[in-house]
Structure 1
Amino acid sequence: MEKIKLWIPEIKFHLGLNILIAVFITIASYVHFPFGSLKGNLVYLAHFLLLQFSLFGFIYIFSLLNKVFKIVFPILFILATSFSFWVYTQDLTIGVGMIQAISETNSDIAIDVLSYQFVLFVLLSSFSLLLFFRLHKKSRVSSIKSPLFFLAIFGVLTFFVVENYKYDAFKNRLPYSLYFASVKYANKPKIKLKEVKEQVFTKEENLHIVLVVGESVRADHLSLNGYNRNTNPLLSKQKNLISFKKVYTPFTFTSQSLPQILTDKSIDSKQSHQEATSLYSVLNKASFKTEWIGNQSIERSYKDIIYSNTSKIIIDKFHSFQSFKKQKDLVLLDHFSIEDSKLENRISTLHMIGSHWYYNSRITSDFQYFKPIISSKYIGSLTKDELINSYDNTILYLDNFLNILIEKLKQSSKNTILIYLSDHGETLGEDGKWLHAQRHKAARNPAMLVWFSNNFKEKYPLKINQLKFKKQDSITTDFLFHSILDLGKIENYKFENKKSIFD
């Protein structure tokens, strides 16, 4: 009996610590599950208890390093609670996609997404852990002589037994998901740009391709594609405009989708070294003037692609794309000119902030047409109608942006074509999910439009007929690289004509 009393403080310490972990971290992975029947409830309860027991095993063994544990564990705990807040409030999956989206995004973006609810949650979890450690300051944390040590061994074995029985049963749940997603991201090969060694050339003259890269715009929220709201009042009046509503991408966040769109990298590629060729590198070789005008912070995953342009302008580089002070997209047109030397071929890429969260920051007050609109960055406090209204208002702003750009392009004497393609779509409440950077079909159908000048129409009637013929086809974002090289009549460089929307 006396021996049991010796271990009571240690038992209380680890029991209390696991309760804290469960409340602030682990349960976040279970609260959104549709448990259904009594059996379903019991299954998930058993799953949760086994996961928590396995965590106890790892934590106990870690706590054998007493001094290191007391320094490192609080840091890991606060980091995990920071992620669990988003899992609690938005039912996000902490996977390699989210780790990449976070790690390849500038630090100012991380600051901009903070809400007071997030800060309060992290402060509450930190204070609770601090208070817990103070109350157990004199408790013996762990010992290899303790019966809990042998129980911890069983806990660790539980992890491997369950994972062997069902792969990723624990790895997809917090806090394990945070670790394993980071490992997958660290081991993930990155795109390495290949040098264009061929003597590329073109016989094309006086061609101007305007590529507008959108952000978070889904095809089914364009009235051009049959959406029940008039989100395209201006573009619907434009002639020479074709909308493609069946475009697919598996990549639902910019840092992965953009490198694929702007290179010859296929969405189905299994290449281990992730080598790819920048679209602009090929066009440079063919003496195209290449220019990039962007209203987003540059991310590591596509930085080299941007810098393969001969001219680069990054607007408002010190404000992230979720900042209240971020410049609106119309400022892009202040840096865009149609004045060009005669016969010179040119591609101009405009990278929009588009419909990225926080929606109200993307538009000016005169585009707050659909109401009520959102009033907080904390999605949990907003209604579905408010969120969709604000999102649709960004589509109205896009409609205005593209309309102004088209009117400007009409004044050019060049053979001009505009291709608008969003990098991915957006989830808007489907299955309780919002925003992007998560695996959902709603975010995999980006909007795409093509407009062409009368000069272009007269010179390339077969290409126009082909566009009209293919507008109902299901295509992937692979089309862009090959379509633009087809447009430019690039010779002595191998690309896939069959993927071109003009072929």
Structure 2
Amino acid sequence: MKKVPEQLSYKKSVKVSVFSFLIISIIPFFDDADYDYFRKLRARYYSVFPTSVLYAANSVYAQYQIMDETKTERDQFKFNAKQSNSQKQIYVLVIGESDRRDHWSLYGYHRNTTPKMLQKENLIPFNNMNTAGYLTEFAVPIILTGIDPSNFLQHTKQKSIVSLFKEAGFETYWISNQTDFGHISIHAAESRNRYFFASDENRKTKNINDDSELLLPLNKVMNQPGNKKFIVIKLQGSHYDYAKRYPNNFDVFKPSNKTVPTSANDFKNKEIITNTYDNTVLYTDTILDSIINIINKQNVISSVFYISDHGEDLFDDERRLSQHAAEIPSKYIAPIPFTIWYSNQCKQNATYQIQQLNLNKGKKASSQHLFYTLAEMAEIQFQYFDSTKSLCSKAFIEKPRYIIGGNLKTFNSDSLK
């Protein structure tokens, strides 16, 4: 049996490199997606080894270089935030993953994927919310900072809603089922208390963490001292591999990838993949319900905001797009679920805000508006507040909405195809 040589000769290395390049160059001719050749080639460059490694390494290096250069400015940033209410309060921001609004029965989907949210009292669903980023790496910082997508890198020079609440006297918590690297990491680090279930430490014992495991630290937080608490919870939600996102007893829509394996891009098995995806939505509905119930039991002024980072492609048309990697986002990536639950105590405390939320729930909104909406819901005052971007305000103004795509290029999210 021949051993693999420790090092290839220069001549063989050149041959392998040329052969690999030719293969990558030829593959787009066999891709029946509705794109031109060079766009297909770029997609292969981003996703096929070894060029994908070079692209990823360059991208990560560029990101961290920017974040390192802006660290001093970011550290010195202040909102000068304050809140006059001294009562016990809990505000929770739950960030979902790859969750499509049109796959929620709460918004009219034909399958009963969100039975618990349909029955939830004091819940306001917003039916015209679009994400401002096609990837988590871009979508989450915009949610956290309210930054305009056309000026995305500005977020590296300022702090997020975590620090806004911290300045206003809240104890801050970050509970995540994701790695939260890159652009997200600088804002996760603003929290005083952090729990990462997808960290390397946890992966030593478990490769896949169930979103229900996030409920344990949440319960612990409830038992900790403090009158004011702000908590960010990041889910795995509906991120691929869908079959790994929910337990067997939530395998309701069948056949699914729990029993019938398929590849991620297997268009011929679209029904199986969609069934599996819908099961993830069903499970997220239960996780969100559990979070709300935990908070509601505290009997204090409280609110739970839920928003997905972005949507997902599910072979919806002749382009046969899947997941969310297309550099020009499709119209299935932009629309996302956004809901706000509030306790009875919050209803008494924030009568005006809740009234305005109900009046604005059908208006065109962007995920960048969450920052201002959550701040006003909590009655936090700060120098950069813009009431025209708060859904809690009668001053809210509908404006053109934009989404970041590949290479930080922005697109009008209402004009996507």
Normalization by structure 2: what TM-score?
0.77
1:402 to 282, 285, 288: 288
The residue that corresponds to 1:388 in the other structure is 274
The residue that corresponds to 1:238 in the other structure is 120
Write out aligned runs for 1:425-444 (5 A). 425-430=311-316, 431-438=319-326, 439-444=329-334
Cα distance change of structure 1 residues 70 and 421 upon mapping to structure 2, 3 Å threshold = same
Give 1:255 shift: 1.3
Cα distance change of structure 1 residues 486 and 77 upon mapping to structure 2, 3 Å threshold = farther
Larger Rg: 1
Cα distance change of structure 1 residues 86 and 319 upon mapping to structure 2, 3 Å threshold = farther
Cα distance change of structure 1 residues 495 and 210 upon mapping to structure 2, 3 Å threshold = same
Deviates most, 480-489 or 214-223? 480-489
Q: Amino acid of the residue matched to residue 377 of structure 2?
A: L
Matched-pair contact (CA < 8 Å) for 1:196–1:282: no
1:367 to 213, 226, 250: 250
Matched-pair contact (CA < 8 Å) for 1:424–1:443: yes
The residue that corresponds to 2:264 in the other structure is 379
Deviates most, 330-339 or 346-355? 330-339
- Percent of paired sites with the same residue: 25
Name the SS of the counterpart of 1:390 in structure 2. Answer: helix
Matched-pair contact (CA < 8 Å) for 1:264–1:276: no
In the aligned structure 1, how far is the partner of 2:43 from the partner of 2:310?
28
In the aligned structure 2, how far is the partner of 1:175 from the partner of 1:466?
45
Cα distance change of structure 1 residues 462 and 336 upon mapping to structure 2, 3 Å threshold = same
1:472 paired with 2:362, answer yes
Normalization by structure 1: what TM-score?
0.64
In the aligned structure 2, how far is the partner of 1:447 from the partner of 1:425?
9
Give 1:270 shift: 6.9
2:215 to 311, 330, 333: 333
Structure 1 gaps, min length 5: 1-66, 94-168
1:341-380 alpha-carbon deviations (Å, 9 max, x no partner): 46x2211111100001111100111111111112325134
Name the SS of the counterpart of 1:498 in structure 2. Answer: helix
Q: Amino acid of the residue matched to residue 279 of structure 1?
A: I
Matched-pair contact (CA < 8 Å) for 1:292–1:306: yes
Name the SS of the counterpart of 2:237 in structure 1. Answer: coil
**Equivalenced residues, count:** 360
1:463 to 348, 353, 360: 353
In the aligned structure 2, how far is the partner of 1:433 from the partner of 1:320?
33
Deviates most, 469-478 or 188-197? 188-197
Task: Give the helix-richer structure, 1 or 2.
Answer: 1
Matched-pair contact (CA < 8 Å) for 1:214–1:352: yes
1:389-435 alpha-carbon deviations (Å, 9 max, x no partner): 11111111011111122222221122010000110000111231111
In the aligned structure 2, how far is the partner of 1:84 from the partner of 1:367?
42
1:248 to 91, 115, 130: 130
Name the SS of the counterpart of 2:151 in structure 1. Answer: coil
The residue that corresponds to 2:13 in the other structure is 71
In the aligned structure 2, how far is the partner of 1:285 from the partner of 1:233?
38
Q: Amino acid of the residue matched to residue 435 of structure 1?
A: Q
**Whose RCO is larger (CA < 8 A, sep 6+)?**
2
Q: Amino acid of the residue matched to residue 291 of structure 2?
A: L
2:177 to 272, 284, 295: 295
1:348 paired with 2:234, answer no
Matched-pair contact (CA < 8 Å) for 2:262–2:269: no
Matched-pair contact (CA < 8 Å) for 1:416–1:455: yes
